A and B are shown apart, each in its own frame.
Chain A
């Protein structure tokens, strides 16, 4: 059954920063949904009908190429939202949005959210600030995908996932990672074996456990630090969990 979340019960940090008065403009339309890994929230060209605020878990935004494959452009967790810009008016998606792990999301219809945004400077400002920071993150990821190697990118990706789901056990298959990073599954297997040999991770069918986060950070490219520590705090200006 869908539930309505009160402001005090939200885990999503964007929602948590919204003032009580503003939140009451739309909170009765927020529902909690339970989504499984791999669920596609929208495809490119589709009209954005809903705004998703992760309560746990995360969503990947993928640029979809002509042959239908996707490569990651951004990762959204509890610090953000997908479809937020829809609050400013009708929008079509440019990317594919896919859930990364089984998780809970607060969802609101785009129409209801847009109605609230029309009445609130605070929400308009939130959307603008969030979109700017997402753009910075996407630029960093684009650069990373161009100039960094498979090992560095995989480490960055594992750490970004860990930080967003707040667990060292990542329910990710190598096939899924292969799609997100745009590299062959064999490449993922060989890199994962290297990392396992170095004692940084332990993987099994369907999950990867981070054993040595600091070690993984030293293998990851600097993009991890930039995204996690420099852009993330700008998104909302709120306190973030300390990364171990």
Chain B
């Protein structure tokens, strides 16, 4: 199965140097959204940096970007949202 890497960028870079294999781009993309939501979950009360403006990008083994989105698009709803 091909390898994919999941990076965060905001001028500053956080690179996934380990990578994970997925069957295809679609599966890797799904994973990116899940990871983004995990990172964004319950951040509202947190002081310090916010992931909102960061970009998540998925890169394949050849170094080509196959997906990217802004982290704020992955903001999950809070438990007590009305």
The verdict on B1 contacting chain A, using a C-beta distance below 8 Å, is no
Contact indicator A187/B38 (Cβ below 8 Å): yes
Give complex CA distance A146, B79 in Å.
9
Q: Within 8 Å of chain B (Cβ to Cβ): is A19? A: no
Residues from chain A with Cβ under 8 Å of B65 in the complex = none
A35 interfacial contact with B, CB 8 Å:
no
- A128 close to chain B: CB less than 8 A: no
Q: Does B27 contact A (CB under 8 A)?
A: no
Contacts of A150 in B (CB 8 A): 38-39, 41
B41 close to A149 (CB less than 8 A):
yes
The answer to whether A184 and B34 have CB atoms under 8 Å apart is yes
Whether a CB of chain B sits under 8 angstroms from the CB of A225 is: no
Q: How far is the CB of A143 from chain B (nearest CB, A)?
A: 11
Residues A167-219 near B (CB distance < 8 A): 174, 183-187, 189-191, 193-194, 197, 219
With A and B bound together, what is the CA distance between A152 and B34 in angstroms? Answer: 18
Could you give, for residues 25-65 of chain B, a 1 whenever the CB lies within 8 Å of some chain A CB and a 0 otherwise? Answer: 00000010011001101110010100000000000000000
A146-B79, A184-B34 known; A190 and B39 CB under 8 Å? yes
* A147 interface contact, C-beta 8 A: yes
Specify the chain B residue showing the minimal Cβ separation from A148: B42
> If A150-B38, A187-B38 touch, does A193 touch B43 (CB 8 Å cutoff)?
no
Q: Render A128-165 as a binary contact track against B, CB cut-off 8 A, 1 for contact.
A: 00000000000000000011111110000000000000
Determine the distance from Cα of A152 to Cα of B48 in the docked complex, in whole angstroms.
12
User: With the chains together, A147 CA to B46 CA distance in Å?
Assistant: 11
Q: Which of A152, A183, A189, A197 contacts B18 (CB 8 A)?
A: A189
CB closest chain-A residue, reference B46: A149
> Once the chains bind, are B14 and A193 in contact (CB under 8 Å)?
yes
Q: Which of A146, A184, A194 contacts B38 (CB 8 A)?
A: A184
Q: Are A186 and B35 in contact (CB under 8 A)?
A: yes
Shortest A212–chain B CB gap in Å is 15
Residues of B within 8 A of A152 (CB): 46
Q: How far is the CB of B3 from chain A (nearest CB, A)?
A: 12
Contact, CB under 8 Å: A147 / B16: no
Bound together, the chains give a CA A219 to CA B49 distance in angstroms of 11
In contact, B35 and A187 (Cβ under 8 angstroms)? yes
Complex contacts, A197 vs chain B, CB 8 Å: 12, 14
A residues in contact with B41, CB < 8 Å: 149-150
Residues of A within 8 A of B6 (CB): 186, 189-190
Q: Using CB atoms, name the residue of chain B closest to A192.
A: B14
- Are A194 and B14 touching (Cβ within 8 A)? yes
Chain B residues, Cβ within 8 Å of A219: 48
**Shortest distance in angstroms between B34's beta carbon and chain A's nearest beta carbon?**
6
B32 → chain A, closest Cβ, in Å? 8
Minimum CB–CB distance for A46 against chain B, Å: 31
Chain A to chain B: the 9 pairs with minimum beta-carbon distance, closest first: A149-B42, A187-B38, A193-B14, A186-B35, A149-B43, A186-B6, A187-B35, A183-B38, A189-B16
